[in-house]
Every structure is written in structure tokens, then in C-alpha cells.
Structure 1
Amino acid sequence: MYTPKLFTELRDYSREKAFSDLFAGITVGIVALPLAMAFAIASGLPPERGLFTAIIAGFLISLLGGSKVQIGGPTGAFVVLVSAIAGQYGYSGLALCTLLAGIFLILFGIFRMGGLIKFIPFPVTTGFTTGIAVVIFSTQIKDLFGLHIDTVPAEFLQKWHVYLQNMGSFEPSTLAVGIGTILVILVVRHFWPKLPAMLIGMIVATLCAQVLHLDVATIGSRFGELPRMLPAPSFPDFHFEQIAPLIKPAFTIAMLAAIESLLSATVADGMIGGRHRPNAELIAQGVANIGSIVFGGIPATGAIARTATNVKSGAKTPVAGIIHAIVLALLLLICAPVAKLIPLSALAGILVVVSYNMSELHHFVAIFKGPRSDAFVLVLTFLLTVLVDLTAAVQVGVVLASLLFIWRMSEITNVSMITDEVRGEDDASEDPNSIALREVPKGVEVYEVNGPFFFGMINTFKNALRNVEKPVSVLIIRTRNVLAVDATGIHVLRELHQRCQKEGTQLVISGVQPQPLKAFQRSGLIEEMGKENFCENIDEALNRARVVLGLPQVEIERKPFCAFCGREELV
């Protein structure tokens, strides 16, 4: 059942929580102000669209979300996607794309996919996050240096080629404001970590530019004055033929929003010792993105840095996030007339710091110390993000990581003939689970499968069975260590059963675990082979073989139940 976290928290809301939420909401609202404008400008859009997003989406995510302390709004992760979509389809195309993404997110939540999205491999998320950080940094060079460039190419390599060609046109005063902003942010963070360093950096840069009468580009010179209130709600105009080409980027926005928001909520859980509701969070993210577009905003998701600030400021419930949105709305009303004085190089400096924080270089480097396959996925995802686009990076990264996982699982799954061990010809007496002392009648072969029985290891299974040089009377497949089976595994067993029927061999399955047993029942395999050929343990399977061969059965000694798993030790 869908229940927002806010509704749960309000049941025992107190004055102490209210004061904590008020302080946290004011703090994170002030922190979000420069970031909201900077992310919109970096995406090639007017700064007010970032503010609209932070207000509307931030309010809805806290109102309807599944996290106690999540703060939503525009984030750096969307800069690459938003700029590409807006550049190709215009804002109307971006708005339609975000509406579709919102619908996707709601469907993710309704169909309870919140738990699945968290399984996106870490090398993939690190690769595209670091790649996004590099791309964001590269988009800020023009404003940071004040380069005189009419049009900056969208492609990464061409962009830097143009930068290097025009580096001689940089403006010292503009660069000084940008570098000064970065230094102020670093100093404030070092000596006064609880203060809003980015806001202070922006204010100091703006004051210096005005007092010293520096000739630098500002928000006003490029975008004009900011509106002092939210626009009237309206849906963007679109034609149905526009939907098809936007499905792919919309799905990418939805996936990125889902990953980023659930990752942020998980980080917050670790900080407060709580537990978020992933499906409720996805539904809230979907509603928030739709609401953002209705009020002229851009895509939104959970913001890790602002969420962490919210927690460190003492937030207790989603009320803090609602207050953060109200504070931003008040700041828009009060500060809009003076916002036009903010130097663009100051916002560029803020985004340079954001890019460095996003890059998480320590995680990037640490992956190289692990398996080479993970490092390969990391580098490929990173390069695709930087040189191609984020959509291709996520798709290729997830597919490649999944294939590598399948390969690893097939490596640890093995199939071996254990007839010699059963007959006592193999020294396994030290193994407490060994069946070396059991007697195996002639004409019986026993194979054991260890690991998941899925499509990735079918060739291993088939190759092992080729060792059976001539048809035997009974073939026993021991599956006590097979915890999972898929449709391919069932199909191969069905083919093996048909082959055994043609060759006059009785196929017996031993030690079936719960999940494979349910799969065999649903597929009809048990009815095809006969229930008597599915035995609880190897002793019963050997007795089944004796029945087929017309030999007397051996009495099975029942051992005490295992104290750990509750099953008989002979299994």
C-alpha cells in the first residue's frame, strides 16, 4: 500500500521536531538557491527554471516521498541530458520528455521496481557520475574564463578544441571572479563547515564585482530580470507524433532520476539510521517531475548533497523539505530584483566545485584495485558518457555488467560426475557430507550440479554429460546445491529426459531445493518425468534406481534433523 513517509511521521510530531525541521529547512533552502540557478544555466536554460523546479519538485518529493529527509530538485546529474534534449527539441520537447519520464517513474513505483533499480552495478553508477562531472566542468570553461565564443560545440572533443583555440580571448576580471568564488567556498567549508559556503561565495563574488565595477557577464546581462513569483500552471503543447522519438531519452531521465533518488535516500538512511520506502519514493519522483513541468521547471530527483545538508542541520521529518521549498519561494520573491547582478563566472565557479564533488575520484580509483572486468565497465561507461551521451553509457554499462555477472556465475557453477566418489573410489572420507560409503549399483551414473542452474552454465552441463560414453540404466542428477533454476535450465532437463527415454535410461533428480521445485511444478516437468523420479535425497534416489533395476532396496537410516537448517543430514 502506498503511504508517504510524511503521513507516518505526523502521527507523533512534536514541538522539538518542528524546531529541528524549521532550522534544517531554512538552511537547506538557502544552500539550494545558487545551485538551482547554476544547474539551469549549465543546462542552457534561464535560471528561474531551476528555481521553479527546486520549489515545486522539492515540495512534492517531501510531501509524497518515501524518505524522512530527502531533498529534491534539479541536480548535476541531469545537466548533460537536459542540455542535449533542450538543444535538439527545445524546451517544449524537454517538457514532454519530462512528463513521460514522470509517468515512467510512477509506473516503476506502482509495479514495485524500487528494489530492483538499486541493483544497478556500482562501476556503472560511478562511471557515468564521474563522466557527468567531467562534462559539467567542460561546459563551464567559457563562463569561467569569459571566453569570446559565439557557439560552443556540443561534442566534448570539439568543445575543448574550440576552447584552446580561443583561450587568448579570456577576460582576467571574469576569471578572477570565478577563481575567487571557488577559493571562498573552499575556505568557508574548511573553517566554518556549517555555513552555506556556495551561497557565501556567490554573495562575495557579486559584491566584489559591484564594488570594484568589474565588467563581467551577469545573469541580468544574459537572461534579464528573474520573475518574482511562480508562473501559472499549464501543460506544454505537443503533438502525438512527437512522443515516439522522445521515449528513449524520457526513459533515460526516469532511470537516472530513480537511481539518483534511491541512492540519495539510501545514503540518508545510513546517516539517520532509518529506512525509506523505495516504491513510494519513485511515485513521488514521478509526480514531482510532472508538477515541475506544469510550473515551467526541468527534471528533478533526490539531491545527495542537499539531503546530507538537511540531515546535518537536524532534519527529523519531511516537513524540513517542505519548509526548504517555501524558503526558496520566499527568496525568489525577495531576491529576484538583485539576482540579475550575480556574475555568471561565480555560478561557473560553484559548478566547478560541484563537478569535483560529483566525480568521487576515490571511488573511481578504488575500482581499479578490484576485478579487471569491473574496471573495464567503469572506463567504458565513463568514456561513453563523456564522448557519446549518457543514454548510451547507461545502456551499454548495464548490459555489459550483466553479461560479466552471468559469466562469473557460470564460472562458479560446476557439474561433475560423482559416481566414483559414491563407489568409494575417490577419497572423500574427510568430507562430512560425502556419500563415499554408499553403494551404487552397476548401470547407475550420478552427476552433481553445484551453483545456479541457469542459461549461463548450460554448456557446462551439456559438456559434462557428454562423458557418459554409452547409455546407462539410471542417470541421477544431484541438485542439493542448486538454489535457483531458470526456464533454460528446465528446458535442458526436459531435453535430457526425452533423450534418456529414447536411450532407455531412467532420469532421476535428487535433493531438489524449494525454488527449483516450484519451477518444476509450474512447468509441468514433474508430471512429465513422474513424481517418483524426484527424490528428497541421494539415498532415496539410489533406492529408486534399484527399483528400476529390479534390485532389493536398502533401508535408509534416518539421521537427526540439522540444528541449523531443520533438514535431515543425509540430504
Structure 2
Amino acid sequence: SGASPEAGLYTAILAGFTAAVLGGSATQVTGPTGAFVVIVYGIIAKHGLDGLITATLLAGIILLIMGLLKLGSVIRYVPFPITVGFTAGIAVTIFTGQLNDFFGFGIAKMPAEFVEKVMVYAENLNKFSWQNFAIGAAALLIILVWPKINRQIPGSLVAIIVTTVFVQLMGWPVATIGSRFANLSGGFPPLRFPNINLDTLRQLIQPAITIAILGGIESLLSAVVADGMANTRHDSSQELIGQGAANIVSSLFGGLPATGAIARTAANIRSGAISPIAAVVHSVTVLLITVLFLPYAKLIPMAALAAILITVSRNMVEVNEIKKLLKAPKTDRLLLLTTFTLTVVFDLVVAIEVGIVMAAIFFMKQMADAALIKEHSVTDKTALDSVAVYRLNGPFFFAAAESLIQSIDHEVVEKEAIILEMQRVPAIDATAVNVLEKLAKKCREHNTRLFFVHLQPQPAEVLRQAGYMEELGEEFFVTELPEALEACSDLVN
């Protein structure tokens, strides 16, 4: 991304601690994530490190405001197939990202995109390192087997200790944190306030909004994943407040943008976390390692860390839920597969945007299909063949409004009266009013009477405000179907 490794450590410490204390998720772990790599790189290239710090500060303020305005609840409107789809997609992304270290390919610069990443792996198969693979496989085996021996100590911690000691004793030439990040140094950064003026705001407000939106979405989605894994329930607006404060604190110490990290959160839960104390301990541990034990941390094999993340990715995939959704209606299956594919091929933001739009379109189509039912017969024998009765179901909105005209169009010409039974219509919108106005006009042209039965409060108020009732006549709005049929009979006679 162009930022130093130390900046990432500072972010994990400061932002992680702040979000754990002030956030709304019991098990969320906050820190720098791969989702910000492209954004951070672009800001540093154009505005420098100071520009990134300022943009992070502004993003934190925006997130704080969003949380105070209770905008976090919007995540509740994300359908379940989308959540399962992007979670599985993230798992695949995490898994493929670890193969370089697990197999010891030694690829210095990995592309961010999935397809390009697979192509690079294919081109570097001849660089396979059996020592790195052996360490990774050993760590993976320890992680899988250790819980059967002792559940109190996390298997990932045991795997790191065992593989690190083994590598040092054997002197194997495997990649370690120290060899990967040679310039990594300890210590703690000083407090620094960015220089903000009107010109700076103009230049950085757009990147700041991008960081805030991406950070907010990813944090809330991570919290949803955490809820599913830990059987908890997060406070979405409070989480935005915590994330906003975390980014503000991170920026004041030269850190990077922070968000809820799905991989670290999943690892946190799999290690037994049940409260924010685990995330606080995580931040304190990173602080101690950075300040006191960095020389020892540099000895940790990258293959062991890759094994931990491979295990995390495996545990993130909700196999049972995927099996259920694959037997669900076609629209749910399409949402699941589309979100999964877009998360893997592109990124989480694209997947969520497309998934939400698709879900909205599917919902509107379903509502429109269920909005109109023709009553072919009525119990009242006084009804004449020249009267058509229609019962509308559900909200009468723009997606369903046009189908009314298409269904009734021929009846206007053939019948002497049309009755719209609207007891099951809780709400209508401006498009529905416009369609009803067109229907009334056509009825007048063909001398066909139009009756409304049992209007609910909202539709009645909307039609009254639009002047529709006054134009049509109050006598054509009745409370019961027999009353409308009797009026039709009188008119025909």
C-alpha cells in the first residue's frame, strides 16, 4: 500500500483497543485490512502520508456522525443469502492469499485480484519450497489436532511456538516475519495533529468519504459474520461510533484506516472469545510484541501464519447454510452465487452493491406479482355480469401499479362498473396514484363506474391529499363490498 509495516502495527494497537472499548460488537477485532490497500496506495501517491492521515481523521469523524445518527441499522436490510455468499467469498479470498507463504513460492509482489493471483501461482509452481510447506502443514496439523488435547490454550498459539522453535533449531531457510519485513522496528509513535485547512478539506473529503463508507460497510458486515459464528447480537450504530473513534485515534498517531477485520474476528471467535476483553488483549499483546518482543516475533515463520489463516477461512464457510440455500427458491440461489462470485473476482463492496440491487429487484417483482387477484365470483347474487371485482394485495407501489392497468384495461370497455377491494393494501405511492388517475380517466371516457372498497388509512390519506377522492366523488368510496355491489346494481337498473 506504500505505508510502513509499523503503521499497520500502530493501527492494530490503537484502533483495535479503541473500537473494542467503544464499539458495539462483543467479538469484533479492528485493524488495517486488505480492503483498504488500493485506496491507501492512491491517497499516498497523490497526497502523501500526511494526506492519508488527514483523510483517515476525516473518515473517523464521518463514521462517528453516522453512528450518532443511528444509521448503522441499515445493515439489517442485507438479505441472508448475501451474507452467506460474501462470507464464503471472503473465505476463498483469504485462502488463496495464503498459498504464497504456505507453499513458499517466494513471490515478492502478489496481485490483489483473484484471477491474476491464480495465474501468478501457476507461473511459479516450480519455486515450491518443501521446507515452507512442511512448516505450514505441521502448523495446520497442530491447529486441527490440538483442541482434542487441550481446549484452554489456542491451537494457533501452540502451532506458532512449536514451528518457530523447530525452524530455529533446524536452521531451515524459510520465510519469517523478519525476512519479509527487514526494516521492522519497535517503539511507539508520537502524537501528531494533521494540518487541516479549507484547501485540504476540498482535496481529501472524497477519499475520506470512500474510507468511511467502505470501513462502515466492512465493519458492520464483519459484525454480522461474528454474530453468526458466536451467536451474539451487535449494536450497529454503536459499532460505527467505535469505528469512527478508532480511525480518529489511529490518525493522530500516524496509523492507517481501520475497520472490523473479518479474518481476525473469525480467528478471535474460533479461539474462544466471548467479550470485547479478547480484542483488548489482542491490542495489548501486539503492543508488547512491538515494544518488547519484536526480535522474537521476527522469528515466526510466515508459513505458520498462513496455516492459521487457512484454518480461519475453512471455518468461515457456513456449509450447512449453503446447502439449505441451494435448495431455496431460484432468486435466493442466484443471490448467493452472484454475491460469492463477485466477492472472489472483484471485492466485497461490489458484491454487496450488486447483491442489494438484485435483492431489491427480486422483491419488487415478487410484490408486483402478488399485488393483484381477480375475484371471478362473489357471494352476493345481486352482482351483475357487467361488474368486475378486483382484490389488491400488499403495498400498491410503482412495481405493481402498471400491472393493474394491464389487467383491468379490457374490463373498462366491457363492464359497466369496476370495484377495487383494497382492504389488504396498507400503503400506496405516487406512481400508484398516477395509475389510478389514468384508470379513472379511462373509466369516465367509457362511462364505467369505478368503486373503492375498504381503503386503509394511508391510501385514503394519500388519495385525499392528491384530490383524487374529490375528483371521483366521495360516494364511490365505500367500506364494504355488498354496499358497492348494491350501488352498482342501482346504477345498472
- TM above 0.5: yes
Identify the residue that residue 380 of structure 2 maps to in structure 1.
Answer: 437
Identify the residue that residue 236 of structure 2 maps to in structure 1.
Answer: 278
The number of equivalent residue pairs is 482
Q: Aligned Cα RMSD in Å?
A: 3.4
In 2: Cα distance, 1:372 partner to 1:388 partner: 23
Q: Does 1:85 align with 2:39?
A: yes
Q: Does 1:335 align with 2:293?
A: yes
Q: Structure 1 70/387 Cα, relative in aligned 2: closer, same or farther at 3 Å?
A: closer
SS of the aligned residue for 1:376 comes to helix
Q: CA deviation at 1:484?
A: 3.4
Identify the residue that residue 384 of structure 1 maps to in structure 2.
Answer: 342
The match for 2:162 among 192, 198, 204 is 204
The match for 2:426 among 470, 483, 507 is 483
The match for 1:258 among 206, 217, 220 is 220
Identify the residue that residue 127 of structure 2 maps to in structure 1.
Answer: 169
Identify the residue that residue 421 of structure 1 maps to in structure 2.
Answer: 377
In 2: Cα distance, 1:394 partner to 1:95 partner: 27
Q: CA deviation at 1:465?
A: 0.5
Matched AA of 1:421: S
Contact 2:412-2:442 at 8 Å conserved across structures: no
SS of the aligned residue for 1:204 comes to helix
The match for 1:214 among 152, 155, 172 is 172
Q: CA deviation at 1:210?
A: 1.3
Identify the residue that residue 73 of structure 2 maps to in structure 1.
Answer: 115
Matched AA of 2:215: I
Identify the residue that residue 408 of structure 2 maps to in structure 1.
Answer: 465
Matched AA of 1:201: A
In 1: Cα distance, 2:180 partner to 2:279 partner: 31
Residues 435-460 of structure 1 show CA distances to partners (whole Å, capped at 9, x for unaligned) of x1353367543221123322222332
Q: TM-score, normalised by structure 1?
A: 0.74
Matched AA of 2:405: K
In 2: Cα distance, 1:453 partner to 1:83 partner: 45
SS of the aligned residue for 1:445 comes to strand
Q: CA deviation at 1:289?
A: 3.0
In 1: Cα distance, 2:278 partner to 2:303 partner: 31
Identify the residue that residue 142 of structure 1 maps to in structure 2.
Answer: 100
Contact 1:260-1:301 at 8 Å conserved across structures: yes
Matched AA of 2:87: T
Q: Structure 1 220/320 Cα, relative in aligned 2: closer, same or farther at 3 Å?
A: closer
Matched AA of 1:388: F
The match for 2:258 among 299, 305, 308 is 299
Residues 318-340 of structure 1 show CA distances to partners (whole Å, capped at 9, x for unaligned) of 56655654454345433233212
Q: TM-score, normalised by structure 2?
A: 0.84
Q: Structure 1 524/115 Cα, relative in aligned 2: closer, same or farther at 3 Å?
A: farther
SS of the aligned residue for 2:421 comes to strand
Contact 1:58-1:288 at 8 Å conserved across structures: yes
Q: Structure 1 210/409 Cα, relative in aligned 2: closer, same or farther at 3 Å?
A: same
Q: CA deviation at 1:179?
A: 1.8
Q: Structure 1 45/470 Cα, relative in aligned 2: closer, same or farther at 3 Å?
A: same
In 2: Cα distance, 1:524 partner to 1:56 partner: 59
Structure 1 unmatched runs, 5+:
1-42, 423-435, 552-571
Q: Does 1:72 align with 2:29?
A: yes
Q: Structure 1 95/526 Cα, relative in aligned 2: closer, same or farther at 3 Å?
A: farther
Residues 24-67 of structure 1 show CA distances to partners (whole Å, capped at 9, x for unaligned) of xxxxxxxxxxxxxxxxxxx8865544443333233333333335
In 2: Cα distance, 1:456 partner to 1:466 partner: 17
Matched AA of 2:223: S
Q: Structure 1 361/231 Cα, relative in aligned 2: closer, same or farther at 3 Å?
A: farther
In 1: Cα distance, 2:137 partner to 2:341 partner: 28
In 1: Cα distance, 2:361 partner to 2:373 partner: 21
In 2: Cα distance, 1:175 partner to 1:45 partner: 29
Q: CA deviation at 1:397?
A: 1.9
1:242-253 alignment runs, 5 A limit: 243-244=205-206, 247=209, 250-253=212-215
Identify the residue that residue 358 of structure 1 maps to in structure 2.
Answer: 316
Q: Structure 1 133/336 Cα, relative in aligned 2: closer, same or farther at 3 Å?
A: same
Identify the residue that residue 145 of structure 2 maps to in structure 1.
Answer: 187
Q: CA deviation at 1:169?
A: 1.7
